[in-house]
Amino acid sequence: MELIDTHCHLQFDSYISKEDEFLSRASQAGVKSVICVGTTLSDSEKAVKLAKTKHNVWASTGVHPHDAASFLADASGSKKLRKLGGQPRVVAIGETGLDYYRQISAKTEQQRALRAQIEASLELDLPLIFHVRDAWADFWPIFDSYKNLRGVIHSFSSHTDHLDEVLARGLYVGLNGIMTFTKDLSQLEAARAVPLDRLLLETDAPFLTPAPFRGELCEPKHVATIAEFLANLREQSIDELSKATTDNAVKLFKLN
């Protein structure tokens, strides 16, 4: 069994100086590669540096919607993002998107930052890692105003109507530990309905630790727990699910 954690934050302070320990535990659990996803320009730089030193780590560079205001306040922010995105072992732009659940940055600021990152992805020919929370109505018009976008909706935890919109646009769906502890049956229904060739696995570590490990620090090894849960939920073999999701990750992010 070989798995890929397509969304974690191993560059965060929670893992400083212990990255090799977490990667070793991940490898023992069958997780062969991880993508460290940036949330600010400085954080993205840390992800890039880590990826350059670890053969099984890749990076995504981007600005989370919470940090849109800070990104826009930097007159050279877009230029810095493009420079980071062109570094070796960078495989995506993001996480970027809209988060109206917690409006730490104003809606208009989030939208401007999203557009800037979409345009960077097109210039660099990289897929996007999208974060969308309580903001679908504004997200889709922005997305649809561009052509030839590819990417994944990270941490998808909505219902089948939104899933249909995601799939209609050819995007992938990232599922994580939320599925193991949610009480929302519509979320589980959507998780069952994701086509196998559109499914990606992620942890969002250090967040969203899956059951039965709630209360512990989430780490890339927990992809294995998420994969087992989803295989049972979807009535698929773990081998079938792991192969498909790994193939999907390799295809979308062009992992060598």
pLDDT value at 256 more than 80:
no
Q: What is the pLDDT of residue 34?
A: 98
Q: What is the pLDDT of residue 67?
A: 97
Q: What is the pLDDT of residue 53?
A: 96
Q: What is the pLDDT of residue 1?
A: 85
**In the chain, where the domains are located:** 3-253
- Order of all β-strands in the sheet with 90-99: 3-8, 31-37, 57-61, 90-99, 128-133, 151-153, 172-175, 199-201
Question: Pseudo-torsion of CA 35, 40, 41, 46, nearest 10°?
Answer: -50
**Looking at the domain that runs over 3-253, which CATH code has it been given?**
3.20.20.140
For residue 201, what is the enclosing H or E element?
strand 199-201
Q: Is 27:1 a contact under the CB 8 Å cutoff? A: no
Closest CA to 5 of 220, 229, 248, 225: 220
What is the percentage of the chain residues whose pLDDT exceeds 90? 98
Copy the structure tokens of residue 15.
């893992």
C-alpha angle 144-148-152 in degrees, rounded to nearest 5: 80
Q: What is the pLDDT of residue 224?
A: 98
pTM score over 0.85: yes
Residue/partner pairs of 120-126 with CB below 8 Å, 24 or more apart: 120/78, 120/81, 120/82, 120/85, 120/93, 121/85, 121/92, 121/93, 121/149, 121/151, 122/146, 122/148, 122/149, 123/82, 124/82, 124/85, 124/86, 124/93, 126/85, 126/90, 126/91, 126/92, 126/93
Average pLDDT over residues 137-148: 98
Copy the structure tokens of residue 120.
């960077």
- In tens, the pLDDT along 21-68 reads 999 999 999 999 999 999 999 999 999 999 999 999 999 999 999 999
94: left (phi over 0), alpha (psi -120 to 50) or beta: left
Q: Is 101 helix (H, G, I), strand (E, B) or coil?
A: coil
